[in-house]
Structure 1
Amino acid sequence: MADAAVRAATPDDVQEIARIHRETWRTAYRSLLPDEVLGSLGDTTQAWAEAVEENQVLVATEGTWLVGYCVAGTAPEEEVARADGTLPDDAATTALVSVLVEPRWGRRGHGGRLLATAAKTLRDKGNTRGIAWIPEADRASTAFYAKADWAADGTVRTLDAGGRPLREIRVSGGLTLLLEP
């Protein structure tokens, strides 16, 4: 494998992040989302430009290729609330994380490097726990987070995916992740 690394995203990465977002959803979620939803994924370049400017966005690289990304930051209250709407004691120090690696670059450690790097940065900022929302039927993401000792915490939500319900589970775990050599 060529040199693999994780670094902070820059404005120069925005076009490629938007492409990875769009193409990975079209590939990885083909069986979970209706064709019309996947086909309507438009240009998210402006949204990613804002995200890179305002949030912690990391990118994974292999050689000269950008192969994945992670967005991480303190979770909004509505994302960390329990099903009954109450907030856990650690709500103010809980981070919301989203990791996505282009499928053709999968199973090469990029997702783990992204999550571990984000976890260290979040710990340094005072966060104590992470959460992520994943489609309930997404076995690859469930297995990925399980390797980091993140597990479903019992909270689910149902989104409208073009008139078809998409059930998501919230996974949660610690931020003391270490990369193995």
Structure 2
Amino acid sequence: MAEATVRPAEPSDAAGIAGIQLATWRAAYTGLLPAEVLDGLDADEAAATWLHTIEQGPARVFVAFEGQWCVGFCAAGLAPQDDSADANGVPVPDAERVALVSTLLVEPRWGRRGHGGRLLATAGSAMLAAGLARGITWVAEADKASLGFWERAGWVVDGTVRTLDAGGTPLREVRLTGTLRFELED
């Protein structure tokens, strides 16, 4: 394997991040999202959104490389209180110290090579340095691969669920929570 690295995203990475997002969603979410939602994804619109996030936040974005190839990315930042609240919508006592990992994607052809773990460890370190203490993420309940990744990282389903409207189809997500400190294995 070529050298694997992770670094903060730069504005010039936005189009590559959008490409990874679209390719990964179209490969991994077929069956979870309606075909018209996946077919309607727009690369230019996604790139503009990622450029805005890289330049202005609110999340920090990190990119993973294998050699010269950008293979994945992660976005994380302070969790909005709606995301970290308990199942009844009541803010949690540590709401000001909860990070939301809003996106962590590795293009499928580059999967199972440690890129997801390196992205999560880098984002976790950055969130700890920003004064955050623990993390949360939302995962489609039917996405067994992603659930397995988060569970291997030591995160647990905390019992909170939400249902999103995915192009007229309900998409049930579960919330996971865990540490922001990770020990990577060689």
TM range (shorter): over 0.9
TM-score relative to the length of structure 2: 0.95
- In structure 1, the partner of 2:181 is 176
Letter in 2 for 1:90: D
Q: Distance in 1 between matches of 2:140 and 2:56?
A: 26
Q: Distance in 2 between matches of 1:40 and 1:170?
A: 26
Match of 1:161 among 159, 166, 178: 166
Cα RMSD over matched residues? 0.8
Q: Unaligned 5+ residue runs, structure 2? A: none
**Does residue 146 in structure 1 map to residue 148 in structure 2?**
no
Q: Distance in 1 between matches of 2:180 and 2:115?
A: 17
Q: Distance in 1 between matches of 2:131 and 2:11?
A: 26
**Does residue 85 in structure 1 map to residue 78 in structure 2?**
no
| Cα displacement string for residues 55-78 of structure 1 (whole angstroms, at most 9, x for unaligned residues) | 310000000000000001000111
Letter in 2 for 1:171: L
CA drift at 1:180: 2.0
TM-score relative to the length of structure 1: 0.98
Q: Distance in 1 between matches of 2:104 and 2:120?
A: 7
| Cα displacement string for residues 1-32 of structure 1 (whole angstroms, at most 9, x for unaligned residues) | 00000001111111100111111101100010
CA drift at 1:88: 1.2
| Cα displacement string for residues 126-173 of structure 1 (whole angstroms, at most 9, x for unaligned residues) | 110100111000011101001111011101000111111100011100
Letter in 1 for 2:55: E
Letter in 1 for 2:21: H
- In structure 2, the partner of 1:59 is 63
Q: Distance in 2 between matches of 1:155 and 1:143?
A: 18
CA drift at 1:54: 2.0
**Secondary structure of the structure 2 residue equivalent to 1:71:** strand
- In structure 2, the partner of 1:99 is 104
Letter in 2 for 1:31: G
Match of 1:120 among 110, 117, 125: 125
Equivalent runs, 1:24-39 vs 2, <5 Å: 24-39=24-39
- In structure 2, the partner of 1:16 is 16
Q: Which moved more, 1:37-46 or 1:57-66?
A: 37-46
Q: Distance in 1 between matches of 2:164 and 2:14?
A: 27
Letter in 1 for 2:100: L
Match of 2:48 among 46, 49, 52: 46
Q: Distance in 2 between matches of 1:127 and 1:118?
A: 11
